[in-house]
Amino acid sequence: MYCYAAQIARWRHPNEEWGTYLDVKINAPQLLKMELAKLEKKLNTKDFGSIFLSSVTDPYNGLEAKYKLTRKCLEVLADFGYKGTIAIQTKSPLVTRDIDVLKRVKKVTVGFTVTTLDDKVSRFLEVMAPPVSSRIEALAKLYKEGIKTYAFVGPILPHFTTNEEKISEILDKLQEVGVEEVWFEHINLSPMTKARLYNYLKKESPELISSFDSANTQEYRDKLDAIINKAVQSRGMKLGLGKVIHHRNLPKKKRGY
């Protein structure tokens, strides 16, 4: 529906700065309707597994208010009587606009990215996203309307959320607004991500660089995993995938002798 990816930039936006463009696939609902019909005919079922909205671009980014592509796609799925699972992940309370459609879908879950409870901190790395306080309010509203929700805490920000007290605060608030399942993801300091992030930190908050450096070791990851697992289990909540997500192995801390 909406595409905001690095690989697209290489050929479609060669002279544009990353973050300044968004491709809108205005025929997405029509294509979805045709594909559903083809699959039903081929497989003789209305359950084709799970559908995730969406992994590359927020399905409720700012332009969704204008184009309503996500809403229209959900309407297509509802009209079709889709019987598989549908998961939505967003940072925008705009999803609550579509509660009427969500109630028509048989198996739908709506998740919000919540990396902190502090709006100032959420602005630190999510400059253009809605404040986290509005996401918490949206989770509460969805829960009251009977729509199943989850939260995605990722990337886990060093210094801001990597201690037992902060993790507990986040989980307590999420549980308060009806969230039963939480996904956690370690920060992925790949060379490209690290270069962009550290350039920003050097200008804005150089004192935080050491905290981000410490997150790039297996010892840090193991310690944080233990804190999160204990906090989730003690509240009777479900941990997505049964573990904290990470994308690559990290070096062990070298011991000095």
Q: pLDDT for 236-246, tens place per residue?
A: 999 999 999 98
- Which pTM value belongs to this model? 0.89
**42 & 148 share domain:** no
Domain that residue 9 falls in: 1-89
Residue 142: strand, helix, or coil: helix
- Examine residue 178 and state whether it is found in any structural domain, yes or no: yes
Q: What are 18-76's pLDDT values in tens digits? A: 677 888 999 999 999 999 999 999 999 999 999 999 888 899 999 999 999 999 999 99
**130 & 206 share domain:** yes
User: What is the C-alpha to C-alpha distance for residues 90 and 63, in angstroms, rounded to an integer?
Assistant: 13
**134 & 249 share domain:** yes
**70 & 170 share domain:** no
Q: How confident is the model at residue 193 (pLDDT cuts 50, 70, 90)?
A: confident
**137 & 240 share domain:** yes
- Examine residue 106 and state whether it is found in any structural domain, yes or no: no
Contact indicator for 105, 78 with CB cutoff of 8 Å? yes
**30 & 151 share domain:** no
**75 & 134 share domain:** no
CA torsion angle for 95, 141, 89, 25 (degrees, to 10)?
-10
- Examine residue 100 and state whether it is found in any structural domain, yes or no: no
User: What is the C-alpha to C-alpha distance for residues 140 and 119, in angstroms, rounded to an integer?
Assistant: 17
pLDDT at 257: 32
In the chain, the number of structural domains is 2
Q: Is the pLDDT of residue 256 over 60?
A: no
Residue 205 preceded by cis peptide, ω within 30? no
**33 & 69 share domain:** yes
- CATH code (residue 185): 3.30.750
Q: How far apart are the first and last CA of the chain?
A: 56
**3 & 72 share domain:** yes
Question: Which tokens hold the place of 203?
Answer: 């200008």
User: What is the C-alpha to C-alpha distance for residues 224 and 228, in angstroms, rounded to an integer?
Assistant: 6
Question: Which tokens hold the place of 110?
Answer: 């709506």
User: What is the C-alpha to C-alpha distance for residues 222 and 235, in angstroms, rounded to an integer?
Assistant: 20
CA–CA distance from 200 to each of 95, 124, 193, 209, 252 (Å)?
30, 10, 11, 10, 27
Contact indicator for 103, 95 with CB cutoff of 8 Å? no
Question: Which tokens hold the place of 41?
Answer: 């005919």
- Examine residue 96 and state whether it is found in any structural domain, yes or no: no
